[in-house]
Structure 1
Amino acid sequence: LVFVTAEVSPWSKTGGLGDVCGALPAALAARGHSVVVVAPLYEPYDDVHDTGHSATFALNHRDETVRYHAARRDGVTYLFVKHPALERGGGAKIYASAPGRPYDDNDFRFALLSLAAIESLLCVPWGDLFFGGGEDAEARRRNARFDAAPVFVANDWHAALVPVFLAARYQAAAGEAVRPRHWAPEGARAAVARATTVTIVHNLFHLGIFPSHRYRMLGLPEENTEWFPALRWRWNDGGESMNFLKAGLATSQAAVLVSPSYANEVQTNELGCGMDKVLRSVGNFGSEIDLGVFNGMSGKLKGIVNGIDDEEWNPATDAHLPQNYALDGDAFEAFSYAPHDENRTVVDARRGKAACKLMLQREMGLEEDPDAPLVGFIGRLDQQKGVDVLLECVDDVVANGGQVVMLGSGDESLERWMSEKEAQHKGKVCAWVGFSVPVSHRITAASDVLVMPSRFEPCGLNQMYASRYGTIPVAHATGGLRDTVKRAMGYPFSPCDARELKRALRRAFACYREDVEKTRKIADGGVAGAVDSRWAQKRRRGMEKDWSWAVAAGKYETLFK
C-alpha cells in the first residue's frame, strides 16, 4: 500500500488530512500489510534520513530530479520527497505564502509529488527500507522484490494525478510504458504496470482548480486525446479550467469518502459541489460527463468513517484532565495509573466527569453547580459548523438552567456574537476565542453534552471523542454525524435550525436531570444499587464502542482486496 499525501502527522499538518495519513497507515501495517507513505519534505525533520536515492523524470517541459528521504515508525515506511519547489516551510506555508494567497505553481508542486510517488517504486530499494537489507547492492536488490501489485492510495486533490499519470505514462494502452532512467528493484516495472489506485476524498471543497493552459506542463498526451477531457472543468460562463480531483476520481479504481452518509450526500446536486455526476461515475469515463474514454474500470464509491487516536483520547490516561476516569472505574479507584502523575487515581466515569466539570467551571469562571447541564462546543466558527444556530439557542439553554462553554475561532462576526453571549450571561456562558488542545480535552471531559450543529460534516471527530469520554453528543443528522450519533448514545436532530436544536437539548436536559435525581436518591440511601438511568446507558454505550482506527482499517482492507 502506497499512500500519497500532502500532509502526514507528526511531520506536516494543517488539519485532519495529516491526522488520517499519520494514523490509518499504521493501523493497516498492524494488520500485516507493507505500507509506505509518500509526502513532501517541506523542511528538515530530525528523525528523517537521506536514502541516497533519487529519480529523474519529465515535467514542465524539462527534467526534474527529486531525492528521497525516509523514516520508519510503527511498522510504516515514510518516504519524503525533496525538491526545491516543495521546500517552503511547514504549517501554514504548505500551500500558500499567506492566507488567501496560494502558490502560483501548486499544480507543478503536487504533480511532482504524484510522479515522485510512482517513481519511488522504480528506484528505491524497498527491501533495504523495510527489512534492513545487506550492505552490498545485490543483497538489497534480493530483498526488494515485488510479490504483488501495489495499491496507491491518493489523498485529496494534491495526489489525484497519481492514477492519471499511472494510466497515461506508465500503463499506456500501446504498452509503451515510460522506462525509468535508473536501476529498478526486481519486479518493480511489472508491479507498476499492474498497480491500482484508490482515491480518498477528505475535503470535497478543494478540487485542485488550475488554468487549462497549464495542461502541457503535465507531460500528458496532447489535448486532442482523452486525457485533456478527463481534466477539463467547465464553468457556467463557458470558461474552462483543469480539475485535478475530477481526473483522479475518473481514473481511480475506487474512491472513498469519510463516511457512508456523506458518500451518498455528495452524489446529490445540493451537496456535490458540482462533482455529483463525477462521483456517481467513479472509475468510469463516460461522454455524458465529458471524462473521455477509459475502459476496464467499474465505478466504486465507498464511505468509511474515520477512526480516532484512542491513545491520545483516553480519559483514563489523558494528561490534560484534572481527574482521570474509566467506564467502570471502581476497579481502578486505588490503582495509581496515569503516567503523567503517579499519585493520580482512575475513578469511575460518573465521579471523574463530576471532578472535571467542577474544575472547568472554576477555570472558565462559571458558577460551580454540579447539577447544571453543561453544554460544550469545540470547533471552527463559521457557517458550515452551524455556530449561528447554537448561538440562537444560548438564551434558551440558560433559561432552562444550563451552562455553555464554547472554544473556537474564525468568522469575526461570530466571535463577537459569542463574546456578547458571555457578557450577557456572566457565570453561565464562557466564550474562549482561540484554540487550545489541553482546553479542548478538558471541555470534552467536563461537558455533559457536546453540540455539533454542522450544516454538513463529511465525518467529524469531536462526536467520537465525546462518546469515548462519556459526554453525550447532540448533533445535526448529516454526513458522518448521521453515521456516528445514534439515538442509543446521543441526540441527532434535523433540520439544522434553532427550533430543532432547542428541542434536542431540552430532551437531553430532561434525561440528564432524571439521572441526577436517581443519583441523589442513591446517595441519600433511598434506593439500593447502581444508577441505571437512560443517561447512564447512553454514556456506557458511547464509552464501550470501539472508535479506533483498527475498525476503519479493517474496512479499508476489504476494499483494497
Structure 2
Amino acid sequence: MKVLYICSELYPFLKTGGLADVSAGLPPALHALGCDVRLLLPAFPAFTENVQATRAVADLANAPAPWGKAPSLPAATVSLGTLPGVKCPAYLLDAPELFSRPGNPYLGPDGKDWSDNAQRFAALGWAGACLGQGLDPQWVPDVIHCNDWHAGLTPAYVHAFRATGCPTPATVFTIHNLAYQGLFSHHEFSQWGLPDEYFGIHGLEFFGHASFMKSALQFSDRITTVSPTYAREILTEPHGFGLDGLLRERTHVVSGILNGVDYQIWNPGTDPLLLQKYDVNRLAGKTTAKQALQNSMGLQSRPDALIFGVVSRLTEQKGLHLLPQVLADVVAMGGQVALLGEGDAWLVETFIEAAARYPGQVGVRIGYDEAAAHNVLAGSDVVLVPSAFEPCGLTQLYGLRYGTLPLVRRVGGLADTVVDCTPENRAAGTATGFVFDALTASDLRSAMHRAFNLFKTPEWKVIQRRGMRLQFDWIAAARHYGALYESAHRSLSLTRVAPKGD
C-alpha cells in the first residue's frame, strides 16, 4: 500500500502543537508494518535547511486540470528528498513566495494569520492531488492521508479529478482539532481552481465563507479523528463547531483512532533532556527531577510539595482559565504549580501576576521549549489537562510514562486514556489519574483535593507505576490506519462520478 501523508508540521524540525508529534510518529509506524509511506510538506525553512538528497519531480505549473482551470499559483515545484532521522522520504512543495518565511508557519510577526494563507495551503492541496495523478511517475499513491485544515482542499481536488473520469487514490482525512477550520472569504474561492459547483452548501460554503475543513469533510472517502470519544463528540452541536450536521450525514465513514506516543522520545529511562534518568523500577531519579524543576522554576525546594505541572497552550480551550481561580487553595494546602506555555495575552498576564503573588510556590515560564517541557513533566507529581475539549491530548500520555499522574476533564481522548482514582477503580487496580466532569473551578478544585489526599498515601507509587507501564504506542494506531486504508482503497469506485452541487 502506497500512502502519501500530507502535513504541515513534523517534529523535531517544526512544531507548534501535537500535529508535529503525530506526523513524526505515525508514518514510521506505518512503514514498520509494510506501508510505502511518503510525506508531503510545505517547503518551510525548517525543512529546506535540513533536507538531503533532493530529486526534482515536477513543476506544478505544468500540472493540468481536466475541468479547465488550475489554481492561481506563483512559481511552485515539487522535489523529493530525505530528512535526518526520518525513515520516510519527503516531497517538498517549494514555492518561495509562499513558504520561505521565518518563524511560525501560519502567523506573521504581528501574531496574525498570514494574509495569503488560503493561497499557501491551496497550493499544498493541489500538490497532493497532483501527486495522486502521477505528478511523480516513479511513485503514485494508493491512498492520500490528509491532516487538518491545511491539507483540506486535497480531497476536493481529488474528487474533481475523479468526476472527470480520472482514476484517483482514496482519500483519508484526519481531524486533529475541529475548532481550527481554515475559513476564508468566498471571494478567494475563484483562485483555487476548483469547478464553480464545488462552492455551495454541498461543497465548501460555510455560512458565507469558504472552509478548507468542510472541503475535507465533504469530499474525503474516510474521515478519522484522534480518539474514539472525540469521534462521537463532534457529531453533537456543542463540539461540532457548525459542522456536526455534515458529520452526522457522513457518520458511516467517521471513526476515531487513538494517537500513540513515540517512546523513543518520551521515555524517562533514556531521555537525554533529563539530568537523571529513571524508570518504573528506579524512581529515585524522579526525586532528582523534582528538585531540578523546583530550582529552575524558582520554587521552594520542598520534597513534600505536590507539584502540579502544566505544559500547554494558554487558552480557554485548554481549560486554563480555571487554574487562577484555584491557586489560593493549592498554595494553602502546600502545593506548587510549574507552568510552561504561551497563548492568550490575558492568561499570560494572569499567570505572570500569580507567580508574583505566590513567590516560591507558583513558577511560570512563558514560551515553549522542548527541554523545559520534558523537565516539567518529569519533575511534577501531577500534570494538569483540564480542557474544555480535547481531541486526543498527548500531554496526559507523556505524563503517564513519566510517572506524573494526569488530572484531566472527562472529554475526548482524555476520557479514553485516564482512569479516575475512584475507590472502585483503585480497588480494581485500574486507576491511573484524576478525572472531573464540569468545566468549573469547583470541580477542578475537588479533583485537586483528591490528588492531595492520595499523595499522602503509599498507594500513590502503586498508581504511578501502573501508569508508567501502560502502552500507547504508534504501532497499535498504525494497524488501525492500515486497515482503514485497505478498506477505503477496496471500496473506491474508479468509475466516473458526478460532482456534488447544490
Is 1:509 aligned with 2:452? yes
> CA contact under 8 A between 1:201 and 1:256: conserved in structure 2?
yes
Equivalence map 1:5-24=2 (5 Å): 5-24=7-26
Contact 1:406 1:430 in 2 (8 A): yes
Contact in 2 for aligned 1:13/1:91 (Cα 8 Å): no
Q: Secondary structure at the match of 1:39?
A: strand
- Alpha carbons 2:225, 2:391 under 8 Å: kept: yes
Q: 2:300 aligns with which of 367, 380, 405?
A: 367
How many Å separate the matches in 1 of 2:75 and 2:359?
Answer: 61
Which stretches in structure 1 are left out of the alignment for 5+ residues? 127-143, 178-192, 283-297, 329-347, 516-532
Paired residue type of 1:269 = E
CA positional deviation for 1:461: 1.3
Using CA pairs below 8 Å that are at least 6 residues apart, which structure has the higher relative contact order? 2
2:63 corresponds to which residue? 57
Q: What letter is aligned with 2:386?
A: P
Instruction: Quote the residue 1:172 is aligned against.
Output: 163
Matches within 5 A, 1:459-478: 459-478=392-411
Partner of 2:494: none
Q: Which of 189, 192, 211 is 1:218 aligned to?
A: 192
For 2:267 and 2:172, locate their aligned partners in 1 and report how far apart those are by CA, in whole Å: 31
Contact kept, 8 Å, 1:11 with 1:45, in 2: the verdict is no
Q: Distance in 1 between the 2:120 and 2:352 partners?
A: 41
For 1:337, the equivalent position in structure 2 comes to none
* Equivalent in 414, 422, 425 of residue 481 of structure 1: 414
1:94-119 Cα offsets, whole Å, 9 max, x none, are 33433454334333332222222232
8 A Cα contact 1:322 1:356, kept in partner: yes
Higher mean alpha-carbon deviation, 407-416 vs 476-485, is at: 407-416
Distance 1:262 1:221 in 2: 33
Q: Match of 1:196? A: 170
Residues 433-480 of structure 1, C-alpha deviation per residue, up to 9 Å, x if partnerless?
A: 333322222221121111111111121111111110111111111111
Q: How far 1:31 sits from its partner (Å)?
A: 0.9
Secondary structure in 2 matching 1:387: coil
- For residues 300-355 of structure 1, the C-alpha deviation after alignment (integer angstroms, 9 at most, x for no partner) is 11112222221121111122222211111xxxxxxxxxxxxxxxxxxx12x12122
> Letter of the aligned partner of 1:29 in structure 2?
H
Please show how residues 58-73 of structure 1 align to structure 2 within 5 Å.
58=64, 59-60=70-71, 66-71=77-82
Unaligned runs of 5+ in 2: 65-69, 421-430, 487-502
Match of 2:386 among 453, 460, 481: 453
What residue is the counterpart of 1:260 in the other structure?
A: 228
Distance 1:316 1:82, change over 3 A: same
> Does the CA contact (< 8 Å) of 2:305 and 2:334 recur in 1?
yes
CA contact (8 A) 2:297 2:363 kept: yes
Give % identity.
35
Amino acid at match of 1:505: M
Partner of 2:322: 389
Q: Which residue of 2 aligns with 1:42?
A: 44
Normalised by the size of structure 2, how large is the TM-score?
A: 0.86
CA 1:364–1:221: 2 relative to 1, 3 Å:
closer
C-alpha displacement at 1:204, in angstroms? 1.4
Deviation at 1:415, TM superposition (A): 2.7
Q: 1:321 aligns with which of 268, 274, 277?
A: 274
In structure 2, C-alpha distance between the alignment counterparts of 1:458 and 1:434, rounded to whole Å: 23
Alpha-carbon distance in structure 2 between the residues aligned to 1:63 and 1:461? 37
Q: 1:48 Cα deviation (Å)?
A: 3.0
Instruction: Name the SS of the counterpart of 1:406 in structure 2.
Output: strand
Residue 119 in structure 1 maps to residue 111 in structure 2: no
- Alpha-carbon distance, 1:413 to partner: 2.8
Write the distance in 2 (CA, Å) between the matches of 1:401 and 1:371: 8
SS in 1 for 2:450: helix
Code of the residue aligned with 2:350 in structure 1: it is W
| 157-166 or 354-363: bigger deviation | 354-363
Q: Which residue of 2 aligns with 1:181?
A: none
Counterpart for residue 411 of structure 1 = 344
Higher Cα radius of gyration:
1
Task: Tell me the secondary structure at the aligned position of residue 443 of structure 1.
Answer: helix
Give yes or no for the alignment of 1:300 onto 2:253: yes
d(CA) in 2 for partners of 1:254 and 1:14?
26
Give how far 1:125 is off: 4.7
Q: Which residue of 2 aligns with 1:536?
A: 461
- 2:290 & 2:72 partners in 1: Cα distance? 61
Deviations 1:488-512 (A, max 9, x none): 1001111121111121111111111
Q: 1:421 to 1:213 in 2, by over 3 A?
A: closer
Letter in 1 for 2:143: V
Corresponding position of 2:181: 207
Task: Select between 80-89 and 56-65 the one with higher mean Cα deviation.
Answer: 56-65
Separation of aligned partners in 2, 1:544 and 1:391: 33
Secondary structure at the residue paired with 1:426? coil
